[in-house]
Amino acid sequence: MPDLRQSAARPFSLAGKLAAVTGGGSGIGRSICLRFAAAGAKVHVLDISQQEADATRDLIVSNGGCAAAYACDVAQGRQVDECFARITAGEKLSILVNNAGISHIGTVETTSEEDLDRTYSVNVKGFFNCIRACIPGMKAAGGGVILNLASVAASAGIPDRFAYSVSKGAVIAMTLSVARDYVAHNIRCNCISPARVHTPFVDGYLKKNYPGKEQEMFERLAQSQPLGRMAEPEEVASLALFLCSDEASFLTGVDYPLDGGYFNLRG
């Protein structure tokens, strides 16, 4: 039987593990980076903005954690390969969190080919690029964990989210495929599908599209979920920590809704 005092003192420990988090410069990605660092991981923060990546790294380091920051456009395969080569130089990557993504507002009629390509390049090809860069090292190390951020939009009909929904549906399919192909290599792959999460993106979207009515629209969006509010980034980070920890070692190939009752409790 394990020492109960020791187990209780450090649940979901990531001590000694190396984690890479894309889109780690803000929102959900930043919260995941901070939570992983608090659990003992050395965190590599990837973001298209070097400034934002540096800010997350500095938050971690100033609180006694260990982190490094990189500017990386995940849609560019060469950049991804070069970045992960730097990350894994002399070290083994234990965890990849594919979080970097973009949104798009529009129906199939108002979505241009360029809109679809841009959304696909980040939300689908970006995930592919990072997984492809990490799999060989994880195989050689005897295992690892890959966590993808999908969305309830992948499984529910959400108005004006055609391109985004398509891309997140692909993320779920990718998760299942990777989980199946690499289960024998002790590589686990799961995904989280959040409903609306209160991030800087939401605030920016409301400011741009509903000037002067931001609070009213915020409340309307929050109330669309049965719990009556949006999720906080830290709540997504908590589930991410569990799924990437050894406590979740029997879980792979699963999409976890973090939806405030969106699917099952709507009237």
DSSP H helical ranges for 75-161: 77-87, 113-123, 125-141
The total domain count for the chain is 1
Convert the pLDDT of each residue in 148-178 to its tens digit: 999 998 998 888 899 999 999 999 999 999 9
CATH number at residue 51: 3.40.50.720
Q: Would you say how long the chain is, in residues?
A: 267
Is-contact 43 36, C-beta < 8 A?
Answer: yes
The percent of residues above 90 in pLDDT, for the chain, comes to: 74
pLDDT at 267: 55
Position of tokens 């969190």?
97
| Range in 129-143, 188-202, 234-248 with the lowest mean pLDDT | 188-202
Q: What pTM, to 2 d.p., does this model score? A: 0.92
pLDDT at 13: 95
Is-contact 249 187, C-beta < 8 A?
Answer: no
> Is 216 within the bounds of a domain?
no
> Is 90 within the bounds of a domain?
yes
210 an active-site residue? no
Bin 180: left if φ > 0, else alpha if -120 < ψ < 50, else beta. alpha
> Is 201 within the bounds of a domain?
no
Residue 79 has pLDDT above 80, yes or no: yes
Residue 8 has pLDDT above 90, yes or no: no
Please give the residue range of the domain that contains residue 126.
13-195+231-256
Convert the pLDDT of each residue in 213-253 to its tens digit: 788 888 887 787 777 787 899 999 999 999 999 999 999 99
> Is 123 within the bounds of a domain?
yes
> Is 31 within the bounds of a domain?
yes
Q: 162 is written with which tokens?
A: 């055609």
Residue 6 has pLDDT above 60, yes or no: no
What pairs with residue 18 in β-bridges? Answer: 42
Nearest to 14 by CA among 237, 188, 242: 242
> Is 223 within the bounds of a domain?
no
> Is 225 within the bounds of a domain?
no
> Is 222 within the bounds of a domain?
no
3-state SS assignment for residue 191:
strand
Catalytic residue, chosen from 70, 164, 182, 262, is: 164
Residue 3 has pLDDT above 90, yes or no: no
